[in-house]
Amino acid sequence: MDSTPFNKYAMAFLATVFVVMTAGILSDYIFDSHAPEKPGFIIQAAEAGGEGEAGAAAPAASAVPIATLLASADATRGEAVFKRCGACHTGEKGGPNKVGPNLWNIVDRPIATHEGFSYSGAIKDFSKGGTEKWTYDHLNHFLTSPKGYIKGTAMGFAGDKKDNERADLIAYLRTLSDNPQPLPAADAAAPAGDAAKPAEGAAKPAEGAAPAAPATNN
Ligand code: HEC
- Tens digits of per-residue pLDDT, 36-48? 444 444 433 333 3
Does residue 99's CB lie within 6 angstroms of at least one atom of ligand 1? yes
Q: Tell me the C-alpha distance between 98 and 89, whole Å.
A: 6
Is pLDDT at 9 greater than 50 in this prediction?
yes
Distance 87 CA to ligand 1 centre (A): 10
Is pLDDT at 64 greater than 50 in this prediction?
yes
Does residue 140's CB lie within 6 angstroms of at least one atom of ligand 1? no
Considering only CA atoms, which of 209, 138, 135 is closest in space to residue 168?
Answer: 209
Phi-psi region of 159 (alpha: psi -120 to 50; beta: other; left: phi over 0): left
**Weakest-pLDDT range from 16-20, 169-173, 187-191:** 187-191
Does residue 98's CB lie within 6 angstroms of at least one atom of ligand 1? no
Is pLDDT at 197 greater than 70 in this prediction?
no
Q: Tell me the C-alpha distance between 148 and 54, whole Å.
A: 5
| Band (22; pLDDT cuts 50, 70, 90) | low
The mean pLDDT value for 192-196 works out to 45
C-alpha distance from residue 119 to each of 86, 100, 111, 125 (Å):
18, 9, 10, 10
Q: Tell me the C-alpha distance between 85 and 141, whole Å.
A: 16
pLDDT computed for residue 202 by the predictor: 47
Nearest CA residue ID for atom 39, ligand 1: 85
Distance 152 CA to ligand 1 centre (A): 13
Is pLDDT at 168 greater than 50 in this prediction?
yes
Is pLDDT at 55 greater than 80 in this prediction?
no
The mean pLDDT value for 91-101 works out to 98
Q: Are 108 and 181 in contact (CB under 8 A)?
A: yes
pLDDT computed for residue 10 by the predictor: 76
Q: What is the pLDDT of residues 79-95, one digit of tens each?
A: 999 999 999 999 999 99
Share of the chain above pLDDT 70, in %: 62
